[in-house]
Amino acid sequence: MDYLLKIVKTSRPLIWVSHFTFFFYGGFQAQNFQINSFQFILGLLTFSLPFSLFIYAINDYYDLKTDLLNPRKGTIFGEKHNASNLKYLKPWGFAGLTATLILASFMGINVVIATFALSIMLYLYSAFPLRLKSIPILDTLVGGALYSYSIVTIGYLAFAGNQAQFIDLIKPTFIFFGLIGIAGHLFGTVADINPDRKDNIKTSAVFFGVNKVLSFCILVFLICMYVARNNWLFVIFMLISILICCFYYYEKWRRSLFLPNLVAYLSLVFFAVTILLYFIHPSLLRF
């Protein structure tokens, strides 16, 4: 049981909710989207334990030293592994990738190709020799923008199938979620700046500094709020995100786990409200 618990904690279950949200909004752009369909259930299964285990088991393998310095690890933000666990992480990760691709195959060849491409990018994000997470700007483009944007487009491809065209993949809604991914990733680099700095991981926050990164996050959220200005759900979410960024200018709040916990559970509330609105008044989810 402890072994299984470590696997689940490594996959960071609260991150699943973000995947579900991205997949939902991508699928929601397709005309034949149905939340009670086999495709949607497959999407949830794919982007829950299997996909997350691949991403974060590989990440934890290469971040072992950093995670031991990180007070957020060993909580809802992932397992804090020791050296004795190291031999399990890559096998867990590749087992997760195998299961991910098998599940994706039931949603179509386009979904398999897009999921595999995303998986390669996220592997290169964590692993040497490229280790993109330690290259400023590229860390945010891959770990933030492409990460979220890709899952949104995969959600669309799962429902649009062969009818999907390239022009469909640059819809404003998809770009919108890519921007959210940028701000979300940057916020995460600020939260982890001390252990990253100690382990010489040059994330965007380490390279540019906390104040500049937080100011850029606020700018991105303001742009997103303008894009989604006709949708009260997104406007409220953006306002809360901006407020949290403002608190993070202060060192004592950055050291606290309260705000990261708030952000994590806020994503859960957002997804729950999204599903509720889908059944009550789906037009309220469009912007």
Residue 199 has pLDDT above 90, yes or no: no
pLDDT in tens, 92-116: 999 999 999 999 999 999 999 999 9
Buried b (16+ CB within 10 A) or exposed e, 242-258: bebbeebeeeeebeeee
| Alpha-helical regions (H) of the chain | 2-10, 13-28, 38-46, 49-62, 64-69, 86-105, 109-126, 138-140, 147-160, 172-191, 193-198, 204-208, 210-227, 232-247, 251-255, 258-280
Q: Which backbone phi and psi does 129 adopt, to 5 degrees?
A: -90, -15
Quote the domain boundaries for residue 182: 2-285
* CATH at 29: 1.10.600
Residue 77 has pLDDT above 80, yes or no: no
Q: What mean pLDDT, rounded, does the chain reach?
A: 92
Give the whole-angstrom CA distance, residue 204 versus residue 198. 15
The total of structural domains in the chain comes to 1
Residue 47 has pLDDT above 70, yes or no: yes
pLDDT band at 82 (very low <50, low <70, confident <90, very high): confident
Give the whole-angstrom CA distance, residue 145 versus residue 140. 7
pLDDT, position 141? 97
Phi-psi region of 78 (alpha: psi -120 to 50; beta: other; left: phi over 0): left
Least confident span in 69-78, 114-123, 170-179, 250-259: 69-78
Residue 166 has pLDDT above 80, yes or no: no
pLDDT, position 1? 59
Longest Cα pair distance anywhere in the chain, in angstroms? 52
Q: What residue type is 236 in one-letter code?
A: I
